[in-house]
């Protein structure tokens, strides 16, 4: 893509490793290495699997070369740790309001339900789903499965995704599909998140 993204944020690590390793043998067209790495540097990776895939590319190695890396102690702190702001115990975090909709126009009885919930600023989307379920459990109940990329929503309002009919729950902010999972995506105040029952 023109902004440097290759696939999505989860596929960036492997794509960078592949392009870095094969550049001298296979180059169908030029790619802007600096632009691609700026996408990676600008993202706050939290999932161990995503970190494991992007880290070799960040040090200019592939998985095959990772065993030969020499690590030395560094006095510097990583940028992600430098930007971490700790909230003192007893200090209340500000709350944000998130609008959340669940939509099914594919199977069974169609539905389009919406709710607004308040969660502490910095909460993940999973926390938003939990708040919606707590507020209206008959409508916003959901189930997740743990994956190596974090929790994946597999059922909402009793409607389960099914690989046989190629259905899944897609999360969007406005019209844009989220590039992160519910366990890492952090909504902003006033954002409208939609969970749409979709096919692939």
Domain presence at residue 79: no
What's the pLDDT band for 30 if we cut at 50, 70, 90?
A: low
Q: Rounded to whole angstroms, how far apart are CA atoms 37 and 47?
A: 18
Long-range contacts of 143-148 (CB under 8 A, 24+ apart): 144/182, 148/48, 148/49
Same domain, 188 and 103: yes
Domain presence at residue 51: yes
Count of Cβ atoms closer than 10 Å to residue 125 Cβ:
26
Over residues 152-193, the pLDDT tens digits come to 999 999 999 999 999 999 999 989 999 899 999 999 999 999
Same domain, 106 and 36: no
178 labeled binding residue: yes
pTM (2 d.p.): 0.61
Same domain, 183 and 129: yes
Same domain, 26 and 111: no
104 labeled binding residue: no
134-148 b/e (C-beta count within 10 Å ≥ 16 → b): eeeeeebebebeeee
Same domain, 138 and 181: yes
Domain presence at residue 89: no
130 labeled binding residue: no
Same domain, 99 and 193: yes
Closest CA to 154 of 171, 137, 138, 139: 171
Same domain, 105 and 27: no
Number of domains in the chain: 2
Same domain, 61 and 108: no
Same domain, 35 and 124: no
The 3-class secondary structure across 155-191, one letter per residue, is: EECCEECECCCCEEEEEEECCEECCCCCCCCCCCCCC
Q: Which domain holds residue 30?
A: 11-65
> Is the Cβ–Cβ distance between 144 and 195 less than 8 Å?
no
Over residues 79-124, the pLDDT tens digits come to 444 444 444 555 556 999 999 999 999 999 999 999 999 999 999 9
């Amino acid at each position: 893509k023109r902004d440097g993204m290759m696939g999505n944020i989860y596929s960036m690590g492997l794509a960078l490793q592949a392009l870095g390793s094969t550049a001298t043998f296979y180059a169908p067209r030029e790619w802007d290495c600096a632009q691609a790495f700026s996408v990676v540097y600008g993202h706050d990776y939290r999932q161990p699997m995503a970190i494991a895939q992007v880290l070799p590319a960040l040090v200019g190695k592939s998985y095959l070369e990772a065993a030969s890396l020499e690590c030395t102690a560094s006095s510097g702190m990583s940028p992600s740790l430098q930007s971490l702001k700790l909230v003192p115990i007893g200090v209340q975090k500000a709350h944000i309001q998130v609008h959340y909709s669940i939509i099914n126009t594919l199977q069974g009885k169609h539905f389009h339900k919406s709710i607004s919930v308040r969660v502490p600023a910095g909460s993940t989307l999973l926390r938003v789903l939990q708040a919606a379920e707590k507020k209206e459990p008959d409508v916003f109940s959901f189930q997740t499965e743990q994956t190596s990329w974090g929790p994946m929503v597999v059922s909402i309002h009793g409607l389960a995704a099914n690989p046989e009919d190629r259905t899944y729950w897609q999360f969007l902010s406005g019209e844009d599909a989220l590039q992160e999972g519910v366990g890492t995506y952090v909504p902003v105040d006033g954002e409208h998140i939609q969970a749409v029952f979709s096919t692939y």
